[in-house]
Structure 1
Amino acid sequence: MKKLIIASLAATGLVAGSFAAGAAANAGTGTVVRVVDGDTLVVSINNGDHTIRLLNIDTPETKDPNQPVECLGPEASKYLEGLLPKGTQVRLEFDAERHDKYGRTLAGVFTADGSLVNAKIAQQGLGIPVEYGGNRKFLPPVQAAYEEARAAKSGLFSESIGCTLPAQLAETTKGLETATEASPATTSAAAGAAAGVLASKVAAAKALRKVLNGDKVTERALLWAGLSTAVLAKHVSNLDKKITAAEKKAEDTKTPKATLEATEKRAEEERKAAEARAVAERKAAEERAAAEKKAADEAAAAAAKAAADEAARNAAAEAERLRNLPAPAPNPAPYVAPAPQPYVPPAPSTKYTGPRCYAPGGKTWRPC
């Protein structure tokens, strides 16, 4: 399986030669000391550290003090660190020019399985093909890997990595479309907010168009996008159309916004007038209720006074009646009960007091 993989990579230029070829005059071997950035590393060769600049590949900037860290620059460095950790044995192949103006050694770097590191970086979409003077030896495999990344929309071609130009194009275009196609606002505030969104989206699109048109400040960013002239022109034309549509929508929003503001102003005035009427009516009702209560209280007080006066008159008349009554008769002497008499038992009777049996006719009797 490993042989099949190497053969497949060799067909695209990602693998070239083997460690056995290290003895050739135009090649050498070494041990990775550290990675500097996405296209530069330090290799120990014959007990001496040498800075190696990978040929025919350029990755986003991370170390230049005069340049900001560029999109996917840190990712390119991390990828190279993972591919060539400290202590990794590598084979170096050289081209016509061995050193650049900074004294770095220019080389193609191969791993133990023969993979060309320069091309593998391009295959991840983390760098672009470049030519250094007459050094073109590794340009074909790097270019092939770069096209593979473009087709797969990897790395710098990805629309899901926010800093890439394809992602910015997708996001900016989608933002313009969404703002332009938004439903009409139903309030002046919503209309104002929609106008603000449109203005911000148009400004972002114009800034991106400036980049696509080759603004010198962001010229390197264009390189990472890998846009051909035809594709670039298509994107610019598409952006121009959407910017025009968004600006027209923004202009068209002004009239409805003014109308909504006038309608809302009238509605607010009517609301305030209705509120004032309600307040006045409530105050009048409270005043009527207070007047009615006062009248009721006064009537109750008058009725209470009349009743008190009537009661006073009645009391005076009763007093006068009582004064005119005749003097009452003297009270009789109090009843004194007689003293109880002593009990005297009756004298015994000599008469027969027992039962009597009468003779016929009832004139005579006899004791029974």
Structure 2
Amino acid sequence: MMLAASVMTGLLTGCDSARATVSRVVDGDTIDAVVDGQEQRIRLLNIDTPETKDPNADVECLGPEASAFLASLLPPGTEIDVVTDDEKLDSWGRVLAGVVLGDGRLVNAEMARAGLALPMQVGENDRFLPDVEQAHSEAVTARRGLFDPTVACTVPGQVDAVETAAAGLVSGATATTPEDADSAAIGAAAVVATAIALRSKLNSSVPGDALIWRAAHLVSDRSRWAARVVTSEARARSTVDGARDRARVLRTPPAPPAGGSSIPAPRPKPTSGGGGAVTSPTRKPAPAPKPKPAPAPKAGGGSGGSSGSGPVGYTGPRCYAPGGKTWKPC
């Protein structure tokens, strides 16, 4: 397709261009537009937006938002100027161009200004790169889109989330049960794992494929983000150690008192009464002492010889009669 030559006013001058009408937005950096009665697919030059259409990849952070923002700039029926650079088509047959609105705004730069696109050069095409880079710098300064810490999926959003999670960890050092201490350790360990993964990506010399990581590598804040993650990781590790120590203490039986036996004395077995009820053991009472027997009367006791014994109370010598049954004082 031959694009008519014209002189643009405003941001762009001296490029091949053509008037077109938007038919639909494909994603954050691609549209379909009708040029001279023929629909063409147009890839916006010098920007890259989060992926939404790749069948082999997940939808990226802020991909749907980028598509929605472009659709708000280019609703169907919008009249635009399509401005090309040195290389007119890519390997998929898409027209590589800048898209200019009727008020002179370069749509490519507006996507970067919203923080929803990164600067990118394709081949020798760099006509729109200075405008895109300027808009990108504005987005970084204003923390928009990919640089917004309030958006959970962005890199600064993930850094904030780890920092908040580490600050909110429940200490297990004062837990009253082993289960509570274990729970605190598990929660802190999850924060440690997240921090390690995030720190690894931030410290990598090669950004990941996702646009959020390429965005992180374009700003000086990356080193400060990494330092904050390291601090959060250290705090979470300390919580893990404290909780595990507490769990061990709670599971260790108390030591016996000094000088005492660690084996308790056996308790007496309860006895069962006649009605089946268990009664406490009782000691049997000591037997009462038996009464002493009265002394037997002495044989021959009495007074005088008639009784066969001497006088009562006599202690002198005794003279016994034959047979030894009676006696008298000698």
Q: TM-score, normalised by structure 1?
A: 0.63
More helix by share: 1
2:234 matches 1:241: no
Taking the aligned partners of 2:91 and 2:252, their CA distance within structure 1 comes to: 70
Taking the aligned partners of 2:253 and 2:142, their CA distance within structure 1 comes to: 54
Q: Residues 65-108 of structure 1: CA distance to partner in whole angstroms, max 9, x if unpaired?
A: 22211111111111111111111100111112111222211111
The equivalent position to 1:89 in structure 2, one of 71, 79, 82, is 79
Q: Residues 290-316 of structure 1: CA distance to partner in whole angstroms, max 9, x if unpaired?
A: xxxxxxxxxxxxxxxxxxxxxxxxxxx
Q: Check conservation: 1:90, 1:111, Cα contact below 8 A.
A: yes
Q: Measured at CA, do residues 246 and 44 of structure 1 come closer, stay the same or move farther in structure 2, by a change above 3 Å?
A: same
2:128 matches 1:110: no
Alignment of 1:155-304 (within 5 A): 155-179=145-169, 184-214=174-204, 218-223=208-213, 225-228=215-218, 230-262=220-252
User: How high is the sequence identity, in percent, across the aligned residues?
Assistant: 37
Cα displacement (A) at 1:170:
0.6
Specify the code of the residue in structure 2 equivalent to 1:26.
Answer: D
Specify the code of the residue in structure 2 equivalent to 1:259.
Answer: V
2:16 matches 1:26: yes
The equivalent position to 1:17 in structure 2, one of 9, 18, 25, is 9
Poorly superposed stretches of 4+, deviation over 6 Å: 180-183, 283-286
Q: Any unmatched runs of 5+ in structure 2?
A: 1-7, 257-266, 280-330
Q: TM-score, normalised by structure 2?
A: 0.69
Residue 130 (structure 1) aligns with: 120
Taking the aligned partners of 1:17 and 1:183, their CA distance within structure 2 comes to: 69
Larger radius of gyration: 1
Residue 143 (structure 1) aligns with: 133
Q: Measured at CA, do residues 176 and 223 of structure 1 come closer, stay the same or move farther in structure 2, by a change above 3 Å?
A: same
Cα displacement (A) at 1:31:
0.5
Q: Measured at CA, do residues 229 and 71 of structure 1 come closer, stay the same or move farther in structure 2, by a change above 3 Å?
A: closer
Q: Check conservation: 2:118, 2:136, Cα contact below 8 A.
A: yes
Cα displacement (A) at 1:217:
9.1
Q: Residues 258-313 of structure 1: CA distance to partner in whole angstroms, max 9, x if unpaired?
A: 1123369x9xxxxxxxxxx9xx89x999667xxxxxxxxxxxxxxxxxxxxxxxxx
Taking the aligned partners of 1:165 and 1:97, their CA distance within structure 2 comes to: 34
Q: Check conservation: 2:159, 2:228, Cα contact below 8 A.
A: no
Residue 317 (structure 2) aligns with: none
More strand by share: 2
Counterpart of 1:206 in 2: which secondary structure? helix
Q: Check conservation: 1:76, 1:126, Cα contact below 8 A.
A: yes
Q: Residues 17-46 of structure 1: CA distance to partner in whole angstroms, max 9, x if unpaired?
A: 269x99x76111100111110000011101
Taking the aligned partners of 1:181 and 1:255, their CA distance within structure 2 comes to: 11
Q: Measured at CA, do residues 29 and 18 of structure 1 come closer, stay the same or move farther in structure 2, by a change above 3 Å?
A: farther
Specify the code of the residue in structure 2 equivalent to 1:261.
Answer: R
Taking the aligned partners of 2:33 and 2:69, their CA distance within structure 1 comes to: 17
Residue 49 (structure 2) aligns with: 59
Q: Check conservation: 1:212, 1:222, Cα contact below 8 A.
A: no
Taking the aligned partners of 1:183 and 1:92, their CA distance within structure 2 comes to: 65
Q: Residues 193-250 of structure 1: CA distance to partner in whole angstroms, max 9, x if unpaired?
A: 1100011111111122232234979432444534446432332233223323322331
Corresponding residue pairs, total: 260
Q: Any unmatched runs of 5+ in structure 1?
A: 1-15, 267-276, 289-368
2:144 matches 1:154: yes
Specify the code of the residue in structure 2 equivalent to 1:92.
Answer: V
Taking the aligned partners of 2:225 and 2:276, their CA distance within structure 1 comes to: 71
Q: Check conservation: 1:89, 1:112, Cα contact below 8 A.
A: yes
Taking the aligned partners of 2:21 and 2:119, their CA distance within structure 1 comes to: 25
Counterpart of 1:93 in 2: which secondary structure? strand
2:62 matches 1:72: yes
2:40 matches 1:50: yes
Q: Measured at CA, do residues 285 and 155 of structure 1 come closer, stay the same or move farther in structure 2, by a change above 3 Å?
A: farther
